[in-house]
Structure 1
Amino acid sequence: MREKFLGAGSDLYSNAIHRLWWIAELTSRGNDYSTTDAVFANQTMVNKVFDRWFARYQPAVRAMCDELADEPSRVIDETTRRFNHALTNVQLEGLSETEAREMIRQIVTESR
């Protein structure tokens, strides 16, 4: 337990407190933590979005969290999996938040 909460492991998210802090940083907009609250209210969202590599890129995280806010777990799972797969052909850091949102919306529509 000591390592899980206080350790400095090799992964960005190996420390539980570090993971919580990063999720809050990636989902907040200034002092507005409403998206952060919504994300932490949905365990599927936390696991499926923030366990993927695209979760290190804030524009994609914001778009993903906004678009999946009211979706069931099945759609969240399918959308994050398919978006992650789509990034094998698209440079993530080259996407604006708007472009990421458009991709995600299309995947959500297809996943429903």
Structure 2
Amino acid sequence: MAQSLRRFTVPVTRPWLYRLLENPDSMLTEPVDGQATLKEVKRTVNRLIKKCGSEPLPANQRSAWDRELVKPLYEALNRLPRRTLVDMRFWHWLCTTPLQDFVWYRWHGQIPADPRSVLNQSQALIGRFTGTPSLNGFSRNALTRLYWCAATLYTEEEGFYWVELALQNQDLYQAIFERQFSLYPPAVRACLRELKDKSESERREATKRLNHHLTTIVLETLTEDDIRKVLTL
């Protein structure tokens, strides 16, 4: 059964994140437009946590959680209005309230006894709970990166194949999704096809070349094959 979801009335910054993790009621919230159910999303997270037992989640197993959660998360939220889905206050609420445990396990390996101390040592971890309304913010937040990857790459014909491929490697993901061309699905698929087995320096050079090429031509006029040719020049 669909339920009302919420967002914070203001974006969550570092000081507010500390307060929220100590007291979830410390920031005001309001309903968002649209309804959805998080039942299957929460069930997936609980199953993954139960599988861990009392041990921290090893770093080399954490990216698998992305591929486990992306499908139920996308299916739960993809009928919400776009204005809700691009509102970072909504994602801040998801990451700090109903799905906080996922963020901790996925990016820290466990729920810490002293969250403030852990966050003080990692600006990157703070960004997994928060993030700004920018390509960088969307690609770093623990949940927006999953949802928008699926929104960009999922098709009925190929399902979540390209989505899961993109999420297998964090460096590859950021090399693609922090670029302006990530808003164009054929460009993302072309990058995944051509760069999935390349080194970090080769990916950087290829995406730099594509960005330069796009200064003289409209991206949407290019096919996936056109973009692949640019990447392999």
Task: Rate the CA distance shift 1:29–1:71 in 2: closer, same or farther, 3 A.
Answer: farther
TM-superposed CA distance for 1:82, in Å, is 1.6
TM-superposed CA distance for 1:50, in Å, is 0.4
Unaligned residue ranges in structure 2 (runs of 5+): 1-16, 21-88, 94-129
Which protein is richer in helix relative to its size? 1
Other structure's SS at 1:70 match: coil
TM-superposed CA distance for 1:9, in Å, is 5.2
2:190 paired with 1:63:
yes
TM-score, length basis structure 1: 0.77
Which protein is richer in strand relative to its size? 2
Larger mean CA deviation between 26-35 and 1-10 belongs to: 1-10
* 1:72 maps to amino acid: S
> Aligned runs of 1:1-112 on 2, under 5 Å?
1=17, 5-6=92-93, 10-11=133-134, 14=137, 16=141, 17-30=143-156, 32-106=159-233
Bigger RCO (CA 8 Å, 6+ sep): 1
CA contact (8 A) 2:135 2:178 kept: no
Question: What is the alpha-carbon root mean square deviation over aligned residues?
Answer: 2.5
* 2:145 maps to amino acid: R
Unaligned residue ranges in structure 1 (runs of 5+): 107-112
Other structure's SS at 1:14 match: helix
* 2:201 maps to amino acid: R
Task: Rate the CA distance shift 1:12–1:101 in 2: closer, same or farther, 3 A.
Answer: same
Say how many residue pairs are matched: 106
Identity %: 29
